[in-house]
Amino acid sequence: MSIAFLTAMRSKDPSMQVGACIVNGLNRIIGVGYNGMPSGCPNEELPWAKTSPQGYLETKYPYVVHAEVNAIMNKNAESCIGCRLYCTLFPCNECAKVIIQAGITHVIYTSDKHHERESSKASRRLFELAGVKMTQHVPEQTSLLLPLRYADEDARSHKGAVCEGPCSCSGLHRPAERCRQGGDSLAWSLTAVAAASSLVAASAGATRWKARQGLIQILGHPRFMLAAGNSARYRGTRFWSALLRKR
């Protein structure tokens, strides 16, 4: 399921990022996908709005390919028969039809926020008739921290890390120490997280998506990881995860 959520982050949809991951009987990933425009269709040329005064054709719904369909189309195996599908959101009825036709026998989902929609009711009816098992995954924690370097490399490489803070320093210094030009790594990290979080909360549409991506980069930056420490890093990640769930 973590792979599905990680894949969802590639989506350009400013209101809902959905991911899917297909796993076979050997527990090998054979396909991943996220919601997005069809291949060859520029994202900026089609609307991402959920509603529009100009009508249905100026919303995203006629154009977006859902994560489940993309995962099936992107599979690197001959068949999906007997496979499991992990998805961050319960599939709609259109995706349910494709899932059944592909031979997938088990759907594991996290969010069922659209439980009362007609499309979700139709999906459950189709899955029950086709014998597709449905399981809601309830994670034990709300976020997952993914380090982007090995621990034994930190001690060697951070000794001469380049300062990327707001100061004018162009020299090398330890990220956990105060910069020679006055830039404090810890203060810079926490201030950057607070500023980006506020921007995400106050923005909408494409602006919010850009702010969200910037916040992700800050939280995953080695400088924040070292300087802020586990406690501050955990608080920042937890706040960011809760904030994004309020879309």
Q: Which residues are catalytic?
A: 68
* 120 token code pair: 């979700």
182: left (phi over 0), alpha (psi -120 to 50) or beta: left
Sign of CA dihedral 144, 147, 150, 151: negative
Find the radius of gyration of the CA atoms of the chain.
21
